[in-house]
Structure 1
Amino acid sequence: MSGDGVVAHNRRTYIAENVDPTRTHLNIEYCYTPIEEAYHNLFDEALAEFNAKQKRKDRYVDNYYEKICKGKQEKPFYEVIFQIGNKDDMAAASENGELAKIVLDKFYHSFVERNPQLHVYSAHLHMDEATPHIHIDFIPFTTGSKRGLSTRVSLKQALADQGITGEGRSLTERDLWVQKEKETLAEIMLEHGIEWEQKGEHREHLSVLEFKREKRKEELAELEQTIERVQQQQVSIKSVEQIEAKPLPLTSKVAVEREDYQTLVTAAQKYVVQEKQEGKLKKLLKDAKKTISDLKAKIESLVAELTATKDELAQYKSVRGQLRTADLEQENDRLRKRIRTYEDVISRNNLWHLFGKGYGTAHKRDNARY
C-alpha cells in the first residue's frame, strides 16, 4: 500500500469483524511512533537548515509532513504486509500458525537490519485473524540530497541507496525490492521446513522486459565463455629459445583459431543491434572487441619476434662460415714462427750445458738477438 495503511487497525484501536478478540493478546507490537513525531525525528534538523537558507518566505516550509501529504510527488509513508500460506494450511490457531509466527518474527528483525533507508515507525504481527501476517509501515528517506532538504522523503532514492534500481515502468525498483524481500522470507521459511509455492509467479509469467533481461544474461554468459577461450590461446615463449635452422611454422598456440574468432565475432554482432537501453551490454561488447584487438596485436608482435630471431640465427651461421679468413691464416703463420723461435732457444740452452762455459758465452751473445 502507498500511504493508505490503517495504523489504528494495526494497533487494534478498534476491532474489525474479521478479528477474534480472544486471540488479540497473542499479537506483537514491535514498534509504534505517531507519524508526525516520526517526521520530526527524521527531518527537523534538515528542515531547519533548509529554512535558514531561504530568502523568500514562500519557500519556507513550516511542516514537512503536511507538505508531503499535500504534494503529489511522494507518499508520506508506505505499508507492506507479509503473510505465509492461508487459512487452510497456516491457520492462526493451528500448529502451523505458530510456526508461521516464528518465521515472521525472525523476518521482521532482519527486515529492519536489511533496510536502513526505510524508517519503520509502526510494525505489528497479527495472530487474531484467520492467518498470521505482519504489517510494516515505514517512511523511505535519503540523505545528502542537493535538492530540497538534505534529508528528504523518497522511495526511489532510498532503494537506490540500498543498491536497488529499476528498469522502467514494467519493472520498478519497488517491484524488485518486494521480490527480494519475498525471497528472503522464503529462505527463512525453508530453514523451518516450509517451501514457497510460487502461485501465479512462475517464470512463464515474467514481464516482457524481465524476459529480455534474462535472455541478455544467457547471451552474455555465452560471450564471456568465448572470450575466455580466446584468452587461453597463449604463446609458448620456450619455442623462441628452441629455434632451429629449419623454418618454424606458426602453431595454434600462436594464431587464434579461426573458429573461435568467428564465433566471437558472431556473438558480438548480436549485441550491436540491441536496443539503446542495453548500455551495459554494449559496454561489455566494446571491452570484448578491445580484448580481441589486444590479442591480435600480441600475436603480431610475437610473429615479428620469431622472424627476427630466425634472421639472427641465419646471420650467425653466415659469420661462422667466414671465420677462416686470410687474416686468420696470417696470424697462425706468425704464431707458428714464434713457436719455432722458442724451440731454437731451448735447443741452444741444452748445448751450453753439454760443451761448457765457452760455448755458453757465445751462446748468450747469440741469445741477445732474440
Structure 2
Amino acid sequence: MSLTVIKLGSSVVVHDDGSLRAEGIAALCATLAGRHRGGERFVVVSSGAIARGVRELGLAARPTGTDALQAASAVGQGRLFRQWDDRFAAEGLTAAQVLLTRYDLGDREAFVNARRTLAKLVELGTVPVINENDTTTTEEISFGDNDLLAAQVAMMLGADRLVLLTSTDGLFSADPRVDPAATLVREIHDVERALADNDVGATTSTLGTGGMRSKALAADVAASAGIPTVVASGLRPEALGRVLAGEDEGTAFVAGPARWSSFKLWLRHAKQARGTIEVDEGARRALQRDATSLLPVGVVGVTGDFRAGDAVDVACGGVVVAKGISGYASGALRLVQGERTERVRELLPQAPEEAVHRDRLVVL
C-alpha cells in the first residue's frame, strides 16, 4: 500500500476572489477515489481557509493584521472542509479534518501522538485533510502556504511521495512571466544548487503566502527522509493523475536514501531551536568528522535563553553546523563553557558530562 501526501496551494483551491474552484476539487477527489479503490492511500494538505474567509467576510483583500487573518481563518476553515467532506463523500470516501500547529510538530510527545492518529486514519481508509490551526496561534500563518507542513507530514508518516500542486507547471529555469526563454526543469537532484542556479523566488498569488522557493525547500525536507517530491500544476485536472501514474509531469525532486533516523529527522525539521551554542574549531571538527558529543570545553559562547531539553543550533564562526537537544539550561552552560569535565563537576556536580549528547545531535 503506497501513501502519498498531496498539498494544494491557495491558488489551486480558490480563485483570486476567494471563490472555490469547485470543478477542480471535484476532479481531484475523483482521481484520488479511483486510485484509493486500487489500494493507494492519500493525505491531503489543503490551503485556502483564509482565502475562503476573506470572501465570506466581504473583505477587499487578504488582510495583513494577525487578528484579521485569524478571524478569516475561523470563518473559512469550516466552510473549506465541508467542501472536501462533500466531494469525497460523493466518491464514496470519508474525509477526516485534522488541524495541526507547530507545537504538534515541535513537541516530541505531541508529534508521536499526531503520527499515530494520522496513521490510524489512513489505516481505516479515510482521507485526512490537514490544514494549519492558525485560528488561535500566531506563528503558523506565515508557515509557507503549508509547503513545509506537507513535507513534515510526509516525513512524519514515512510517505512514499510528496506532491505539491500549484498554479504553475513546476519549477522553471527563470520566471516564465517575464522571461519567454524560461524552460521547465524536469528533474532536480540537488535542491541547493537549483536554488542557486535558477530564479526560484518567493513570488506569490494574491491570496497565498508561498512561492517556488518554499516548495523547493519542502522538497529538500522530504528528500532528507528519502521521500521524492513532484511539483506540478493543480489547475490541469489530468496533471495529478499523470504524477500518480509515474508519468513525466511537472518537476521531480529526486530523493536518495533517508539521511537520518526518525528522531533526528524530527529534531532537524520540526523541533524549533531556542538558542545557539557557539563552539571552537576543534569541537566543530570532532562533531562533523568523528560524530562525538559536544562537551562544555568546546563551547565558546551561548546565545538565547533556553532550558535543558530545548533544541539549540550549534554554530562555529557564526555558521550553523549542527542542531541538538541541550543537556544544560543556557545560564548553567555559560557558567561552565570552556571548562574541562573535572572543573564542570566541581562547579555543577549534578550536571551531565555532555552539553549535547551525540545521540541527540544532528550534524548538518
- Is the pair's TM-score, using the shorter chain for normalization, greater than 0.5? no
* Greater per-residue strand proportion: 2
TM-score, scaled to structure 1: 0.25
* Greater per-residue helix proportion: 1
TM-score, scaled to structure 2: 0.25
Q: Which fold has the larger relative contact order, with Cα–Cα distance below 8 Å and residues 6 or more apart in sequence?
A: 2
